[in-house]
Structure 1
Amino acid sequence: MWTYFWNSCIERWLKGQGGKCPQCNAKATRKDIRVLYAKSLKVIDTSERDRVIRELEKEREARRKLELEHAQTKLQYELKSQLVAKLQNELKMLKNATAKSNVSAPELGMSQGISTENMNKLIIHSALDIAKDGGCRVMAYNEWLNMVVVSMPSHVSMFPGCGVKKINMLDIKSERYIPVHTKQIRDMAFNPVKNDLLLTVGMDKLVKLTNVCNNAPVGSFTAESPLWSCCWNADHANQFFVGTATGLVLMYDTRNTDGPIKTIKVTGSGPVVSLCYIPWEASENSCTGGLLVARLSSCSFVLVKENEIQDNALLLEGPFTSLSYEKSTRHFMVSCRPCQKYPHARHLVCELQYVDMSSSAATNNKVVAANIIQTFKGGTTQKVLSRSSIVAHPLQAGSILACASDESTQSTCLWDVSSGACVQVLKCRETVIDILLLKSNQSAFLALLTDKSVKFYKWVELLS
């Protein structure tokens, strides 16, 4: 292999090193130097490349400035929204003060026939098309991130499967789609402590844990049968429950990647259509924490302890479609589809209580039972396993609302649990399959999910 040097460099080397070749260290003199002539020399003009690099840097700097301006605008929008809500509250207080100065509150109610229960109404705020060809199933809300996620099939034929669409509640606009499962997602829930962790289960027999902030998978578990439902353990943030199509409840721990740490067999038949965890509470009048399990034909309350699992069958009649829990009152609602015995859909608001089954005071044989507080009737048709919801009224302290879809009239009904009266009926052209209460920017929304879209209704106060 030849190595080329400048002539002056070689001569300097030979003088200093006693006549040795700079390449092989053999004896060499000046007459051994060979002059090589290049056939063609080209001077490369890099000015164009340098100009493109400078323009690229300018564009990157401009993009960084735009991203910063976008973040600042978003923050200003949120602050302005809070200011508007504050001014609306002040306006309401001024109007109320003016009304009281002219007419007393009882006289105002008698003369105009306005009750405080009817002062709050839901009005349509916005609607988003999610899946053009349908396929939406469930929703979940993360108040910490101001984000709603909706399950939907992939809209790209090259990448089939199902995932979740993120909706930013600050401006109520859809954002990125995250692919998660290969088949339909049946249920999902956010971790109560690790706010960015989303739990999903699907018909592909997979349990998936996804970080919704960076859209990256965190963990995955494989079950032996399709999965229908899931929920987190509110008392232990690392544990969650999964309901299978064969009627089993699997208990997992995120720190144990081998598989379920417990398998719970629940009374009844059919798949586990809904799961709901009630946090533990030290109270004489309420039961300890546990898991509500609804199969198609049965409903149970499972006391989950470290070394013991106790299944308490609740004497409720199905067939069941969904469970919903309200934490302030510790009430839960069980929804049932029409059957031969009950021609109307039913929504049972219940509370758990201990019942002493022992015959003497010396023995202690208490079981958990469901006490039905209120029953609401729906329509006579229900083909879809829609999910109902029991929520605390966001604008009326102490008021609890039961919200459920009615396939017969293509509407969603809201009942007041205390009085049993129908508060409002929301008409919709499509069947509502999931209902969710949202609180964002000091405003309260009720989100209604259909097969193709999600509609947001906002609670407003009607001022006289």
Structure 2
Amino acid sequence: MSCIKRWLQQRKNQGKCPQCNRKCTLKDVRKLFASRLVAVDEESQKRIRLLETKCASFEKKKADWSKKEAKWRKIEAEMRLKVQQLKDRTTHLEQKIEDFSQGPSCSVSADRDFRRKSVSGHKFGSMFCRQGSSPCFMLQKELQVDGAHLFDVDASNQILLIARTLSGRGTKHILTKISLIPPHEREDILLPPTINFIKDLHISPSDGSLALFCSLRKDLSLFSTESNNVILAYDLPFSAWTCSWDLNSSNYMYAGLQNGSVLMFDMRQTKGPVKYLKGLTTNPVHTVHSLLHKSTLPSGVRSVLSASSAGLFEWNFEGADEVPTLIPETEKQGVCISLAYCPSSDDIVASYRPKVETHNEVAISQPSQTPNVIGQGIMGSHVQYKRAGSNSFQKMASTYATVNQIRLPKCAIIDLEEDKKLFASREEGACELTLQELPSFSVFQRLNSEGHPLRDIKYTNAVGQGLLGCLSGDMLQIFST
């Protein structure tokens, strides 16, 4: 600026711009301010950028190695756990083999020791057991299964199959397989989204690799426990509440529908049911049992026993008359809420709760009601029948019982040695699983069921040992003789 000023003052009115050579005075000059300029060392900048790139590369490699190290540590921990589980299983199986080789007395003693270890840390499951020749049930294992509502046991392969529903970000319907052999490995199988809430579940009694279940989405599905896939699915006209396998042929299956009908399926025919029989009422069929073939039935006839709130019905498929028959007197006991069947002896036990009074009239032969506390149950009854032939059932005994006011409870008949039969059901008043001798209905044993609602109960005989499964809340208890 000082140079420009001196240049213009020397020439006074004749001053010219040193840039464009036009006339100008000092008033025409405008000062432009800019930031300070710094000379940059290009070589240093290049070196800095190179070093920064190398540092970033080293940091990335370090992070990758840290992830790999954490992954290998996790794999190592899993392998250690797997090895320990295999060691435990080997020890358990070796002990079992040794026990069986040394005779029954040693086997019973070792089994008692194993059960004592299994129930450590849990509340003891046997509250009361009548002394006698028949073996009592002891708590063998408790398994936490969140969202479980149904299960079945594959005795041949020592596997539990459990239907579960998990809520959260979208409802998930899952089948869980759990091994009955320590360390009780489990596997979750996510079912297709087309399958809704599972209403009934049964493993094939002749082929443990197949399971049958029905859902509220109006379908009946055949599931392979080997491939963990639904291999066959039937569309139904109405929702199925129950299903079962035929006890005389492994190819046939049955489903009881919401409209009171019963369908028969042949897995060799994939299009649909081979028989669709309408019921005498439109009450939903909540239980279906295939009956063992009797000599009194014509060849090829398949007999099925069903239960609805209206009573018990027998269906004869492939017979001359396929109209269902109401078993006499079963409709007069009240509202039928459950049905258990023992194929080996043809014993049947149906549970009832009182009918709702209409116009101040009470149905005949109903147990008198007593004041109830909400959630404590209501006074109902258990009635034992015995199958005597085609469309013939004899009433053997009955007893009063505290039953659920709302739910359709599960029950089972246990076939023990020396032709002793036990009826297993939930006693709502005492909140426990009660085993009663048949036909007297005298209490044989009481089992603690954790005070939660009973969701499912199954009995099976595996490797000479009676296994009783009880699903209460999210806890599955396994009792053994």
**Fold agreement, TM-score > 0.5:** yes
1:164 and 2:175 are equivalent in the alignment: yes
328 and 67 in structure 1: CA distance in 2 versus 1, 3 angstrom threshold: same
Match of 1:437 among 441, 459, 466: 459
Q: Aligned residues: percent identity?
A: 16
Amino acid of the structure 1 residue aligned with 2:387: L
Range with bigger deviation, 121-130 or 239-248: 121-130
Cα separation, 1, equivalents of 2:183 and 2:88:
16
Correspondence list, 1:248-267, <5 A: 248-267=261-280
Counterpart of 2:444?
A: 423
Query: Of 250, 271, 290, which residue of structure 2 is paired with 1:277?
Result: 290
**Match of 1:245?**
258
Matched with 1:149 is 161
What is the rounded CA distance, in whole Å, between the counterparts of 2:80 and 2:275 in structure 1? 52
1:348 and 2:383 matched = yes
Mapped to 1, the partners of 2:201 and 2:342 lie a distance apart of 18
* Cα distance change of structure 1 residues 83 and 350 upon mapping to structure 2, 3 Å threshold: farther
- 1:53-107 deviation digits (Å, cap 9, x = unpaired): xxxxxxx9xx99998997686455324224336657235999xxxxxxxxxxxxx
Matched, 1:175 2:198: no
SS of 1:270's equivalent in the other structure is coil
Residues 209 and 218 of structure 1 are in contact (CA less than 8 Å); yes or no, is this contact kept in structure 2?
A: yes
Distance in 1 (CA, whole Å) between partners of 2:284 and 2:108 is: 52
314-323 or 439-448, which moves further after superposition?
439-448
1:238 CA displacement:
1.3
The equivalent position to 1:326 in structure 2, one of 326, 339, 342, is 342
- Where 1:220 maps in the other structure, the secondary structure is strand
Q: Which runs of 5 or more structure 2 residues have no equivalent in the other structure?
A: 1-74, 110-128, 357-365, 370-378
d(CA) in 1 for partners of 2:80, 2:139? 36
Give ranges in structure 1 of 5+ residues lacking alignment.
1-59, 95-113, 355-366, 460-464
For 1:298-377, list aligned pairs within 5 A.
298-305=311-318, 308-315=321-328, 316-317=330-331, 318-339=334-355, 341-342=366-367, 343=369, 344-354=379-389, 368-377=391-400
C-alpha distance in 1 between matches for 2:325 and 2:419: 30
Q: Structure 1 residues 172 and 314, CA, compared in 2 at 3 Å: closer, same or farther? A: farther
Aligned-residue Cα RMSD (Å) equals 3.5
How far, CA to CA, are the matches of 1:165 and 1:197 in structure 2? 14
> Separation in 2 of the partners of 1:115 and 1:276?
31
**Distance in 1 between residues matched to 2:442 and 2:242, nearest whole Å:** 31
- Taking the aligned partners of 2:381 and 2:282, their CA distance within structure 1 comes to 20
SS at match of 2:95: helix
Gap change, CA 1:423 and 1:220, over 3 Å in 2: same
Contact kept in structure 1, 2:92 and 2:182, CA below 8 Å = no
Q: Tell me if structure 1 keeps the 8 A contact 2:89–2:183.
A: no
In structure 2, do the counterparts of structure 1 residues 92 and 171 end up closer, same or farther at CA, with 3 Å as the change threshold?
closer
The residue type equivalent to 1:326 in the other structure is C
The CA distance in 1 between the partners of 2:466 and 2:217, in whole Å, is: 35
CA–CA distance in 1 between the matches of 2:92 and 2:253? 37
Q: Are 1:410 and 2:431 matched, yes or no? A: yes
What is the CA deviation profile of residues 162-214 of structure 1, one whole-angstrom value per residue up to 9, with x for unaligned ones? 23221211127351122336321110112233320110001111111110122
Cα distance change of structure 1 residues 453 and 67 upon mapping to structure 2, 3 Å threshold: closer
Question: 1:234 — aligned with what?
Answer: 247
Cα distance in 2 for residues equivalent to 1:280 and 1:176: 37
C-alpha separation between the residues in 1 aligned to 2:219 and 2:86? 37
> Contact 1:82/1:442 (CA < 8 Å) preserved in 2?
no
Q: Give 1:209-220 correspondences, 5 Å limit.
A: 209-220=222-233
SS across alignment from 2:402: coil
Separation in 2 of the partners of 1:388 and 1:228? 16
Other structure's SS at 1:90 match:
helix
Aligned counterparts of 1:273 and 1:439: Cα–Cα separation in 2: 25
Structure-2 residue corresponding to 1:452 = 474
Q: How many residues align?
A: 365
C-alpha distance in 2 between matches for 1:75 and 1:307:
56
Q: Which amino acid aligns with 1:337?
A: R
Q: Does 1:140 align with 2:140?
A: no
In the other structure, the counterpart of 1:363 is none
TM-superposed CA distance for 1:137, in Å, is: 2.4
Q: Does residue 1:383 correspond to 2:406, yes or no?
A: yes
Q: AA paired with 2:290?
A: Y
Matches of 1:372 and 1:172, distance apart in 2: 45
Give the letter for the 1:215 counterpart: N
